Amino acid sequence: MAASNPLKIIDISQTGPSTPAELLDALTTQGFVFVDGHDFTQEEVDSLFDLSRAFFQLPSDYKQRYSIVGNTGYITFTKENLDPAKKDDFKEGLNLSDLDLATGELNPAQLIPDWIKDDDARYELIKSSIRKLNSLNLKLLESIAVALEIEDSGECAGAQWFTSRYDPKLKSGSTLRFLHYPVLNSNNSEGEIRAGAHTDYGSMTLLFQRRNQEGLEIYSPISKRWEKVPYVETENTGAAMAPPIVMNIGDLLSYWTAGLLKSTIHRVKFDASESRKEDRYSIVFFSHPSDETLLEPVPSPLIRARARSGRGVTKDEAKGEFITALEHLQRKLAPTYQ
Ligand SMILES: O=C(O)CCC(=O)C(=O)O
Ligand SMILES: [Fe+2]
């Protein structure tokens, strides 16, 4: 029996006039949606997961040599604590930040595993994936701007309000992240929280997951309960197509829209009742605009009234000014890594 699915599946290859409205509906309710009809093939996604598995199989002392500095590098088991009020998350990860979103290149001033940097095939795969993820990100941001009816200004057309804040020449917090949650087979009757409850810090997040490796749960703004995000197959007949990508709103799109778009709380949990055989691997792209972007309300008739009532305001109390994307990221990252 197919697992029940609390999320909409939206095919963006068939973009018709109703797509922005459907997307907006999903993102103002659950804050999460499955994006089908992207242009990742199954083969590309398999190669990315193969790369991830092979990296995490490298000796621990090799991986530790690239321990996270800034927001790039290896995150060893229990180093990250997405919910600082709870105990450690048992997972390992590799973050690649300071990306050139146009070329997919990583700023070489960072400490990047030579296993990636000095291997043409691996580095090419990473670069092309970053480029594709960013194109998908920009396409979705434009669709959201259209749905929000953002007004044209002297600065840019309304549809480009978000994308114009993604200047590939400027530094941003955008990050590609590989995660590995091993099966432990502990007898914890409550199940195991593997990534503590949190919201994402960027504009939006795009996530690949695999069949039989579920575990992601959202705290639904509608039902006010934890709901499981299943693995779903593509509804596209193109056989080469990878399954739908999980997309969710992060804090910045919530701030920009005075809370209309939902930055939904989520976590990864392995259920006690499950007879889980496989580790979970996930691959995540966090989309962030250029560092100096202000988190001000967007010029949209849908948002104006909400913003006036003070919802989602991100003014720094001391400065009386809107905070920037970088300030928000720094505030969130500080308590996360130990
Ligand atoms: O592995 C997952 O499914 C979730 C990861 C996540 O939420 C995160 O890294 O922010
Ligand atoms: Fe997350």
Span 83-119, pLDDT tens digits? 666 666 789 999 999 999 999 999 999 999 999 999 9
* pLDDT tens digits, one per residue of 137-151: 999 999 999 999 999
Q: Which of 226, 209, 207, 208 is nearest to 217 (CA)?
A: 226
299 Cα–ligand 1 center, Å: 31
Residue 208 CA to residue 72 CA, distance in Å, equals: 20
Is it the case that residue 230 has pLDDT exceeding 90?
A: yes
| Ligand with the closest atom to the CA of 199 | 2
Residue nearest to atom 1 of ligand 1 (CA): 282
Write out pLDDT tens, residues 161-208.
999 999 999 999 999 999 999 987 666 767 788 899 999 999 999 999
CA 317 to ligand 1 center in whole angstroms: 31
206 lines ligand 1 (CB under 6 A): no
Taking the C-alpha atoms of residue 206 and residue 284, their distance in angstroms, rounded to an integer, is: 6
Distance from Cα 176 to the centre of ligand 1, integer Å = 12
Identity at 179, one-letter amino acid code:
L
Give the pTM.
0.94
Calculate the average pLDDT of the chain: 91
Tens of pLDDT, residue by residue over 50-86, are: 999 999 999 999 999 999 998 999 999 876 666 666 6
CA of 268 to the centre of ligand 1 (A): 7
pLDDT of residue 200: 97
Class of domain 9-333: mainly beta
| Nearest atom of ligand 1 to the alpha carbon of 181 | 1
> Which residues are close to ligand 2, an ion, with C-beta < 5 A?
200
Ligand 1: atom nearest CA of 267 is 7
Q: Whose CA is nearest to atom 7 of ligand 1?
A: 267
**Amino acid 20: pLDDT:** 93
CA atoms of 127 and 250, how far apart (whole Å): 23
Q: Is 10 in the pocket of ligand 1 (CB under 6 A)?
A: no
Q: How confident is the model at residue 324 (pLDDT cuts 50, 70, 90)?
A: very high
pLDDT over threshold 90, residue 291? yes
* Pocket mutation for ligand 1, best pick of 75, 199, 268 (most atoms within 8 Å of C-beta): 268
Tokens of 60: 């621990």
Judge whether 64 and 88 are in contact, CB under 8 Å. Answer: no
- Give me the residue spans of the domains in the chain: 9-333
CA-proximal residue: ligand 1, atom 9 (nearest): 284
| pLDDT at site 194 | 87
CB of 200 within 6 A of ligand 1: the answer is yes
Find the 278 Cα to ligand 1 centroid distance in Å: 17
Q: What is the 3-state secondary structure (H, E, C) of the chain?
A: CCCCCCCCEEECCCCCCCHHHHHHHHHHHCCEEEEECCCCEHHHHHHHHHHHHHHHCCCHHHHHCCECECCEEEECCCCECCCCCCCCCCCEEEEECCECCCCCCECCCCCCCHHHHCCHHHHHHHHHHHHHHHHHHHHHHHHHHHHCCCCCCCCCCHHHCCHHHCCCCCCECCEEEEEEECCCCCCCCCCEEEEEEECCCCCEEEEECCCCCCCEEEECCCCCCEEECCCCCCCCCCCCECCCEEEEECHHHHHHCCCCCCCCCEEEEECCCCCCCCCEEEEEEEECCECCCECCCCCCHHHHHHHHCCCCCCEECCCCEECEHHHHHHHHHCCCEC
Which amino acid residue places its CA nearest to atom 10 of ligand 1? 200
Instruction: Starting from the CA of residue 179, give the closest ligand.
Output: 1
